Amino acid sequence: MKLSLRRVLTLFAALLFALATGMTAAYAVTDFDNAPQGAHYANGFGEPVCTYDTLDDLTVNCTNTAIAGVGNTNATVSLAVTSTFTGVCHNPGVNSKIVEPFTESEETTTTKQLFPSRNGRLVVPDQTATGTSTEEFLDNFSCPNPNWEPEVTDSDVSFVYTLTFAGFDEPAILITG
């Protein structure tokens, strides 16, 4: 895969912005072997960039793009955000004894069908999805014994962005973070 100077500088700028603002950058792969023959990023567009703000929120934002040369081939864009919670259940007695550890995940997914224009250009809009907060998780989680109290000791957010063309098994664009 040939990287242009513009693309390298754009990725470098995105990484610096992410580090400066507490955002986490993602790993991205574009493979147009999983797209109609002749597919390429339209002039002025490139691989989407997905960021997750680790300081403030649980929202993953992915930028838009446009792909030319797709003919009449539709595509599906998807952004799945997984919130994983690790914790323990406490027996609320005098010693608040730990009785059972847990690890649970909740996923939020946005999916959109995309249709190319008459000239074979596919416009991919911005994608946004928000994970589950610790408070939301605890509102819906219960320990095996209703007398026990859950405590989240760690949480993590990950995401997967895909753009898959109709008739192809693998995504043309895959971004993970």
CB 129 within 8 A of CB 79: yes
Does residue 142 register a pLDDT over 60?
Answer: yes
Domain residue ranges of the chain, discontinuous segments joined by +: 5-176
Distances in Å between the alpha carbon of 70 and those of 12, 35, 79? 29, 7, 21
Q: Name the more confident of 99 and 114.
A: 114
pLDDT at 17 (0 to 100):
47
Does residue 16 register a pLDDT over 60?
Answer: no
pTM: 0.81
Does residue 50 register a pLDDT over 80?
Answer: yes
| pLDDT tens readout for residues 87-102 | 999 988 777 788 889 9
Tell me which residue of 64, 47, 46, 57 sits closest to 23, measured CA to CA: 57
pLDDT at 26 (0 to 100):
74
pLDDT at 143 (0 to 100):
94
Average pLDDT for the chain: 87
pLDDT at 7 (0 to 100):
45
- DSSP reduced 3-state for 12: helix
Taking residues 67-76, what's their average pLDDT? 98
User: What tokens appear for 176 in the block?
Assistant: 């993970």
Tell me which residue of 6, 79, 67 sits closest to 38, measured CA to CA: 67
